[in-house]
Amino acid sequence: MSAVVPISNDVFVSGTLRPREPFSIYRIPALVQISDGALLAFCEGRKDIGDQSANVIVVKKREKGYTRWSNLKVVAEDPPASLNNPCVLVDGTQIFLMYQRYPAGKSEWNVSAGMGPESCQSFLITSNDSGENWSSPRDLTPWVKPQQARSVASGPGIGIKTSGGRLIFPFNTRIGASWTTFCVYSDDHGKTWQKGELVQHELEFNPNEVQIAEISAGKLLMNARNQAKGHFRLQSTSSDGGRTWTRIEPKPDLIDPVCMGSLLRLSDGRLAFSNPRSTPARAQGTVQLSGDDGATWRIAAEFGPDSFEYSSLCELAPGVLGVLYETKEKIATGAQGYRIRFAEIRLLEN
């Protein structure tokens, strides 16, 4: 398959500080197509480069048939706390957005363990009107966080709805000095949620930021960042809808510089995966396709040698992908910043 070179346009640009876009830094993209065909692009709006910098969750919308994105809208904020890891899921006309809250001055390294107000907590908001209005935050911490954990993180990126109707958000968690992954699922359209078992792994692996997709025979495939020495992705499968998982295994052919990546099942049954396909740096963005449930992969699109960090995939139509992704750059003040961009990829046939 020949590789496509995508053409990109800006969605969120750090350092602009315009009245309608008042944040110094934009990071952590999450992209979804909703029931009316519009696209919603979420990310964190931050005061500075730090992961916990009084962040809020923001969104822009692109209506079906248009190329321009709307003005920025804040969908979740809790100053001076920091909100992190937007992860979005669509169930018919209902949109679910999961995220975490860190108390002011706390990070995943020094936050308290457990469920209390000084801990890392998980919240869910919903919209029933195409993302125009959002519900009050619902605290799901007791249902989604392991009791002994310090931090949890949804995605970031997307959750899924399986062919059987189960809604699933992928999570990672830090317990002591080690990370692992798990899933949170609902069988009643988001009214109640249950936490699956933690994924088991060898000591040399640390599964971290994670995405999942449904594969053949009703199984799920998990693809995770390896927060350890190995510069490759980690994979696991589930045969019971995300309640339990096989012991995680390395995927050496999916090289990675230790970064978030995006995984998506396409309407033709293939899988798509995007990440910075490089070991020394978060660069050389690629989209790869698999026709055998993630056993082997082929490059379908390449973004070139420049910066490419977190990304989020969405199928716009059969054979057409959208990808929302970060590039790191210096902003006008000379400080480090990010640009979040959108590309549309028309997949070429063999």
Q: What is the pLDDT of residues 283-321, one digit of tens each?
A: 999 999 999 999 999 999 999 999 999 999 999 999 999
Average pLDDT, the chain: 95
> Under a CB-based contact definition with an 8 Å cutoff, are residues 10 and 18 in contact?
no
CA dist 117 to 56, 81, 106, Å? 18, 11, 11
Cβ atoms of residues 327 and 342 within 8 Å: no
Length of the chain: 350
Determine the Cα–Cα distance for residues 154 and 123; give it in Å rounded to an integer.
10
Q: What is the token pair recorded at 227?
A: 């927060």
Residue 296 has a pLDDT of: 97
Which CATH class name applies to 8-346? mainly beta
Could you report the per-residue pLDDT of 170-198, keeping only the tens digit for each?
999 999 889 999 999 999 999 999 999 99
Residue 63 in tokens:
């209506």
Percent of the chain with pLDDT over 90: 87
At 1, is the pLDDT very low, low, confident or very high (cuts 50, 70, 90)? very low
CB distance 156 to 85 below 8 Å: yes
